[in-house]
Amino acid sequence: MPVAGIFLTCNGLNQVFAAILRGLGRQKMGAYIIVPSFNLIGLPLAVYLAYGPLHMEVTGLWWGTCVGTVVSALAQLFAIIYWTDWEHEVVRCLRRLVESGPTTDSLPSSRGSQSIDVVTDDTQYSGYGALTV
């Protein structure tokens, strides 16, 4: 059943995209995308395909839920790519790191012995390039 492969792939992508939105603090956006995709598109289409004029039965149920899953995955991907200001998200992340990080003036980086210097009075970050917050 090729529909199962499409469904499972897109369902996995849905979980990844929902986790990205959750990490960005946009859980509501994920819910606003997932709920209508399944309840307004996938479920009615599944019932129509299964019991409507096409009489696809169980295969129609699979195809309907598959379409809902694909719509949800594409909508979440669109939201992540086009509605996210990644430069702003980097600044938010750096602020959280400084606020919850160690009390020293430098944070260890993933590049060996280099460090990211943090000047908390100007809220300016340096290391891989200065970012002014």
pLDDT bin (cut points 50, 70, 90) of residue 93 is: confident
Range of the domain at 78: 2-84
Task: Quote the CA–CA distance of 35 and 42 in Å, as a whole number.
Answer: 10
Regarding whether 68 and 94 lie in a shared domain, the answer is no
pLDDT of residue 47: 96
Number of structural domains (the chain) is 2
Regarding whether 6 and 71 lie in a shared domain, the answer is yes
Regarding whether 74 and 92 lie in a shared domain, the answer is no
Regarding whether 111 and 97 lie in a shared domain, the answer is yes
Q: Is the pLDDT of residue 108 over 70?
A: no
Question: For the chain, what is the mean pLDDT?
Answer: 84
Which value, in Å, is the radius of gyration of the alpha carbons in the chain? 22
Regarding whether 119 and 61 lie in a shared domain, the answer is no
Task: Quote the CA–CA distance of 79 and 41 in Å, as a whole number.
Answer: 18
Regarding whether 35 and 53 lie in a shared domain, the answer is yes
In this prediction the pTM is 0.71
For the stretch 28-39, pLDDT in tens is 999 999 999 999
Regarding whether 105 and 64 lie in a shared domain, the answer is no
